[in-house]
Amino acid sequence: MPQKPVAGRYELLEELNHGGLGDVRRGYDSVLDRLVAVKVIRGSPSPPRTSPRSSPSASSARRESRRGSSNPGVPQVYDAVLDDTYEHLFLVMELVNGAPLTGYIHPGKLLPVSWAVAVAAQVATVLSYAHDVPVIHRDLKPSNILVVRDATVKVVDFGIAAILRTDVPTLTATGSPIGTYQYMSPEQMRGRQITPQADLYALGCMLHELLSGQPAFTAEGEFLLMFQHVNAAPTPLRQLRADVPVELEELVLHLLRKAPEARPADVQEVYGSTAASLPARSGSAPASTRRATRRQQYSKPPVSRSCG
């Protein structure tokens, strides 16, 4: 990792998150005098060029990641540059002052149904925009959803998704599919072509977990968990929580169907179903949730789990 500023302007500070494709560092942009988040992507494929900033890979990444982040629900991507070794690609993005959705999921203390659905509806609006670009996220999960103080959400890591081709399955350097097994669609598990319905499956996994306090599937070991996603039926939500509306249970089961073509046709259909479940003022977080957000925001540096 370079000690000198990246591209002569971005100073890398403490690590905020560590992931399979790279790490997120808090950074400082000395030109614009502002804090940023920097996603450090390992293993850039670009051959040496005369300048990291002029590399086709960096310019393409900069263009594609901005296409995927020009939405209020996605952190802005400001820049993409290669370091002098051409081994690391740096995505420079907006630093989000928020807390990951994982901090709100507790098996013994369930979220209000309306709040969980409001979060899902916001994520659906972001996916609707992204799928029109088209960009498929591929790794949608609670840790990639940041909740800010007014209970609006930011979906992070779209900068990575925008760089990846959307018409073929993509593997990491270890040969594993990109994604997180707890939220990964059956077609991703099998290494098949990825469509927007993969994101809808992940949204179904998240909504199930937000409403029940537990993942849609649990197992000891990755292979058994993968088997369940491919073959097992999820437990209907009303068996886990009686106050879940029938229509909402049916939506989650629809999102979690094994075949992509059996899921909702598009995310607009999902948004319509979630919006119909919302009372007039469901967007505000419950008081306990707002207090948790403030504690996480002010007890440690602003959170940025990945790039937009």
Q: 17 has which bridge partners? A: 24
Measured CA distances, 120 to 199, 271, 272, 296 (Å)? 12, 8, 11, 21
Q: Which helix (H) or strand (E) holds 100?
A: strand 99-100
Side chain identity at 241, as an amino acid letter?
A: R
Contact 49, 38 (CB under 8 A): no
Question: Which of the following is catalytic: 23, 79, 139, 157?
Answer: 139
Burial 86-113 (b: 16+ CB within 10 A, else e): bebbbbbbbbbbbbbbebbbeeeebbeb
Instruction: Return the structure tokens found at 292.
Output: 């948790």
Handedness of CA 162, 165, 171, 172 (dihedral sign): negative
- Rounded to 5°, the CA angle 221-138-26 comes to 95
Instruction: Return the structure tokens found at 301.
Output: 């540096």
Q: Is 199 a catalytic residue?
A: no
CB atoms within 10 A of CB 114: 17
Query: Which 8-state DSSP code applies to residue 15?
Result: E
Q: Which residues are catalytic?
A: 139
